[in-house]
Chain A
């Protein structure tokens, strides 16, 4: 699955909030690593500040948030704002998890580029990041 040029792309996979469902986040992190991306996984139970600080510190191209607890509407805006204000204005924002369709529309209005829901394949995620990560 490795695609040329992925090695310079740094991807943060984050688990904001108190949600403990990390199966998907870990599977995605592995798939991205296998595809050649540089992957940083935050581990669980991160506050918005923790995620923002990890994104800035690692100077990531992509921020992937995994949320299966239904708290996406409360958690995503703070992180999105914070990361942009901290200077990563071109970062690609992806959300993965159980997100109702109406909320996907709202999240996209806020600036989330893509939302992956159950049934999305690893190949789709890898290709999406390959094609859309900012070139710096």
Chain B
């Protein structure tokens, strides 16, 4: 028996005695995802995992990037502070953008309303009551021009949360950049464009899975050739987690989605090092501090190894998992909403310890409504406090080498790889989604979590413990009136009267023809949006060719 083993045995005997005196508060201690964790980790845990510093961690900026994708991380460049914003009309959102930039935000992030996300114009009966409610309403290039009016797209990176009709919105953005005279290699930003996670979690889809994935690959192909600094896809775990998955499921399904885009791009004839450097990621950062940090570290290691080993990537940029993070909307409570500020601060801290490259911190009122200017300001200031006052920007991956964090990183990685293997065996994520596999796994986890809450096995402060009589009434929230919808409808009527209907008809016919002939649709859609064809006109044209997607009522 080694000296260490002797000491460990002595400690464990002592622990059994002290546990008798002061009984552990619970029979089982687990993470927010309900993964049981040890009380104490030691070198023995890492030895058991066969931990090897050079192989498993390496130095920051070096394979497998566990410690971060840049050598000097936040010393060189702080994470991008990017608050997701969008409500009402383009003009109103434009004002919010300008306010955020004036307050020190360093990137834009655009939220679109439900009709836009589903490829309907503001005047569609399908969008009744939803125009401008959960994001900004964009029906044509005219709205997009207003959205970024007075903001130089050469000087800012813009992220856009749009998926089903992402190809159309991307073309509108490129058209705006072109009108501003921005050279193509200076157009920087990120299109979410991750359609697989729509079927899995966010549920804003247009077409059946296969043609929808084809459109994603069209944008990857077009972006890679024409916009070298544009992130073509933001492979997103955020919505998967918000829909109720565990941390491991979020990680596994996201990586599996990414692998599907890689496979499909290779099938299109692209080389991995041509397109993989422009794939980016987006993860949730939830309540459980160490579990989240482990998830981000494991994500980088898994992606780097898979890209290198499975696809033979040679360019380091292909292997680097660059990610945005957003604090967990689902963790916010309507009860005692000021407590949310604290949750967001802790989650933001975990994202930074996890080495995120960009961060959105939620506003305290987001569980009640879209955030007010005041609430957004506190959220942004939270990031600024983390960056400027806590000292975490001084040091790279400070938890690297922690017995617990390394062991947890290994565990999260192992369990995610098991899921990925299972999805591989099903034929990849497209087949798994069509079979409803990830959807069902998430629904199971969501139900399990709700049952734990009801049994108070997990505590949400103010919800199932420490409740107070107080309500949210004292918190002023943002309301979006029906007037926005009426204004947007009038704008569309005017647009349809002033544009050339012949040019629109001809451009839409070209879109249809290209879709039928299975050609890349970016050029024809770009021509259509420049002629002020509306979002829905383009999407309806494609619906005519591809059909629509419907999910059964399984629960």
Contacts and interface: CB of A to CB of B under 8 A. Distances in A.
A123 B454 contact: yes
A38 interface: no
B266 to A, nearest CB: 30
A27 B447 CA distance: 5
Contacts of A26: 443, 446-447, 555
Interface stretch (B10-18, B115-123, B316-324, B520-528): B115-123
Contacts of A74: 128-130, 482
Contact of B130 (A31, A40, A70, A117): A70
Interface stretch (A12-20, A107-115, A128-136): A12-20
B450 interface: yes
A23 B553 contact: no
Interface in B107-136: 114-115, 117-118, 120, 126-130, 133-134
B369 interface: yes
Interface string A10-47: 00010001111111011101110100000111111101
A122 B454 contact: yes
B446 A17 contact: no
Contacts of B243: 22-23
Most chain A C-beta atoms within 10 Å of own C-beta, residue among B118, B477, B480, B553: B553
Contacts of B551: 43-44
B552 A70 contact: no
Contacts of B368: 98, 100
A95 to B, nearest CB: 14
A119 interface: yes
A101 interface: yes
A42 B198 CA distance: 18
A71 B446 contact: no
B554 to A, nearest CB: 8
A119 B126 contact: no
B145 interface: no
B204 A20 contact: yes
Contacts of A101: 471-473
Contact of B118 (A45, A47, A75, A117): A45
Interface residues of A, number: 39
A18 B127 contact: yes
A122 B335 CA distance: 17
Nearest to A122: B454
A111 B272 CA distance: 58
B62 to A, nearest CB: 39
Contacts of B204: 18, 20
Nearest to B124: A18
Contacts of A70: 129-130, 133-134, 369, 480
B334 interface: yes
B202 A117 contact: no
A7 interface: no
Most chain B C-beta atoms within 10 Å of own C-beta, residue among A31, A44, A71, A117: A71
A18 B367 contact: no
A118 B333 contact: yes
B242 interface: yes
A98 B367 CA distance: 7
Interface string B448-459: 001101100000
Given A26-B555, A29-B555, A43-B552, A17 B471 contact: no
Contacts of A123: 454
A121 interface: yes
Interface in A41-97: 41-45, 47, 69-75
A23 B242 CA distance: 8
Given A27-B450, A47-B126, A118-B334, A100 B477 contact: yes
A40 B114 CA distance: 25
Given A27-B446, A27-B447, A40-B553, A18 B130 contact: yes
A69 B134 contact: yes
Contact of A121 (B117, B198, B330, B454): B454
A38 to B, nearest CB: 13
A21 B244 CA distance: 11
Interface of A: 13, 17-23, 25-27, 29-31, 33, 39-45, 47, 69-75, 98, 100-101, 117-119, 121-123
12 contacts: A20-B117, A26-B443, A26-B446, A42-B553, A69-B114, A69-B130, A69-B133, A71-B128, A71-B130, A117-B334, A121-B453, A122-B454
When A and B form their complex, which 6 residue pairs have the shortest distance between CB atoms, in order from nearest? A74-B129, A20-B203, A71-B129, A18-B114, A70-B133, A43-B553
